[in-house]
Amino acid sequence: MVQETAKKQGTPNWVDCATTDLDASEAFYAAVFGWTAERATGSDGRAYSIQRLDGKLIGGIYELDERMRSMNVPPHWGTYVEVDDLDATLKRVTEEGGSVLGEPIDEPDVGKIAIIQDTVGAYLRLWHSEPGHCGEVFNIPGALTWNELNTKEPEKAAAFYSKVLGVEIEMMEGPTPYTLLKVDGRPVAGILKTTPEMGDFPPSWDVYFASDDVDATVKSVVAAGGNALREPFDIPGYARMAVLQDPQGAVFEVIKPKNPDEG
């Protein structure tokens, strides 16, 4: 996927990490993925670290402000989704039972952004991005490759996003129920039904980065001060992946799809 594809309504187009230590987070992801950082200043006067891979826009990092810290918001990765008309989309959010958190943010030359909470309790950023903004490259090692909502109520979430974003829904059969969200027939995100074995976590949008060697990436994460919450494991016939945590506590996944001849 390239930037032009990410500009389509309903497609994840950006991710960023809320952290407690901007300098340390920049250093960690540089060590793990080879990202380079470029500091910018938002309309609120706060620093925002733009991350690039081989010069291409990948995502961002910013520090939790005092209000977020007072609310005990933990370090986390957030997902952004492209929308053609933010105001119209926010209207559908409330009509379908979701919530809009605060006023939309209008960043000059960047676009208009709002944070919503869906009907299962997960938070998501909606962004009408200006030309030249949002991620530039995806699905290569070190870049965003997948976004996934974890919830005990996948059917409820799918109905919400189908109506709010206009995405297509495909229910996949298998031992673990899974729902694909599609744009123009192409999968752009997924919804995973959480089970008791997965733990009692609040609904959330998870971020996956591509890796050409999951085991090596895990070693890099640990060497840089992070943790492996789940060591590398195989999804039979599909991929090898791991669940990781950076030194400040933000959780993310890395994944390498299997080639067809790998079984």
The pLDDT of residue 260:
45
Q: What is the pLDDT of residues 123-137, one digit of tens each?
A: 999 999 888 788 999
- Which neighbouring-strand residues pair with 15? 79
> Which residues, at least 6 apart from 7, have a Cβ–Cβ distance to it below 8 Å?
13, 82, 129, 134
Residues of the chain with pLDDT under 50: 260-263
109 with 207, same domain: the answer is no
Q: What is the pLDDT of residues 58-78, one digit of tens each?
A: 999 999 988 888 888 899 999
CA gap 214, 220 in Å, rounded: 10
- Which neighbouring-strand residues pair with 257? 239
CATH number at residue 88: 3.10.180.10
CA gap 157, 152 in Å, rounded: 9
For the chain, the domain total comes to 2
Domain that holds residue 91: 3-129
Q: What is the reported pTM?
A: 0.93
**Do the domain assignments include residue 229?**
yes
158 with 226, same domain: the answer is yes
Helix (H) or strand (E) holding 227: strand 227-235
